[in-house]
């Protein structure tokens, strides 16, 4: 597979591709907070959502392209606007299935953790399905540790799935 991988900040003009991407990755695994339906936003709502990230120095949304195709995304988000949470951020990533195992997830984690370090963040947080071994070993590789578990995190087609809470203390 020829690869010309580019990581960059998301731009409002990525909104259409972003929504299509979400439908695709949502269908490819049951590990995300949405399925094949994707994100319930119009293109202009998604563009506004991306603008919120690019206009806020405390968070970032990244996209990964290969030859013009969106193949991965990652974000650092603020937990809440409250001053007592200002040291914390949430991190989330996804990669299109035909690109798994090629280092894209690691590339995203490197950039997102770097962003957190430069922003003075002290607690980087994420939630991951407890049976998502690929993602959990990726997060452990970057120093995340399990701090808890929610037995009923997801309910998919009537079945509960647990998730681990993992933190990286910087
Ligand atoms: C989890 C995910 C982001 C990983 O992305 P990726 O591009 O495949 O990751 P990488 O190629 O950088 O691999 C990273 C690590 O994953 C782990 N890994 C890779 N293949 C694995 C496998 N078959 N089994 C277990 N762990 C595996 C390894 O620790 C690997 O690091 P290494 O190559 O240095 O040993 C991707 O699989 C994905 O998007 N999955 C669906 C959505 C999802 O689960 N998102 C996370 C929600 S919390």
- Give the contacts of 157 (CB within 8 A, at least 6 positions apart): none
Q: Is 23 touching ligand 1 by the criterion CB < 6 Å?
A: no
Predicted confidence (pLDDT) at residue 2 exceeds the cutoff of 90: no
* pLDDT single digits (tens) 44-82: 999 999 999 998 999 999 999 999 999 999 999 999 889
Work out the percent of the chain whose per-residue pLDDT is above 90.
96
Mean confidence (pLDDT) of the chain: 96
Summarize the confidence of residues 89-105 as an average pLDDT.
97
Domain ranges, residue 44: 5-169
- Ligand 1 contact via 24 beta carbon (within 6 Å): no
Number of domains in the chain: 1
Which CATH number belongs to the domain containing residue 125 in this structure? 3.40.630.30
Q: Is the confidence at residue 42, as pLDDT, over 90?
A: yes
- CB 112 near ligand 1, within 6 Å: no
Tokens of 153: 């995190």
Q: What local confidence, expressed as pLDDT, does residue 80 receive?
A: 85
Measured in Å, residue 95 CA sits from the centre of ligand 1 at 9
Q: What are phi and psi of 129, to 5 degrees?
A: -55, 135
CB distance 29 to ligand 1 below 6 Å: yes
Q: Tell me, using a 6 A CB cutoff, whether residue 100 lines ligand 1.
A: yes
Give the Å distance between the CA of 75 and the centre of ligand 1: 16
What are 119-128's pLDDT values in tens digits?
A: 999 999 999 9
Average pLDDT over residues 21-47: 97
**Helices and strands (DSSP H and E) totals, the chain:** 4, 7
Q: Would you say residue 36 has pLDDT above 80?
A: yes
pLDDT cut 70: percent of the chain above it = 99
Quick: pLDDT tens for 3-28: 899 999 999 999 999 999 999 999 99
Burial of 116 (0-12, 13-18, 19+ CB in 10 A): buried
């Amino acid at each position: 597979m020829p690869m010309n991988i580019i990581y960059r900040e998301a731009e409002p003009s990525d909104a259409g591709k972003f929504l299509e991407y979400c439908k695709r990755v949502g269908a490819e695994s049951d590990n995300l907070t949405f399925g094949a339906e994707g994100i319930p936003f119009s293109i202009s709502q998604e563009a506004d959502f991306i603008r919120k990230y690019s206009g806020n120095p405390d968070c970032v949304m990244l996209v990964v392209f290969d030859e013009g195709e969106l193949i991965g995304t990652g974000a650092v988000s603020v937990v809440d606007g409250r001053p007592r949470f200002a040291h914390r951020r949430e991190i989330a990533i996804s990669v299109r299935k035909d690109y798994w195992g090629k280092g894209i997830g690691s590339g995203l984690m490197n950039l997102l953790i770097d962003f957190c370090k430069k922003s003075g963040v002290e607690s980087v947080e994420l939630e991951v399905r407890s049976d998502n071994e690929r993602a959990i070993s990726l997060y452990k590789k970057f120093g995340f540790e399990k701090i808890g578990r929610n037995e009923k995190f997801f309910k998919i087609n009537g079945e509960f799935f647990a998730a681990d809470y993992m933190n990286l203390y910087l």
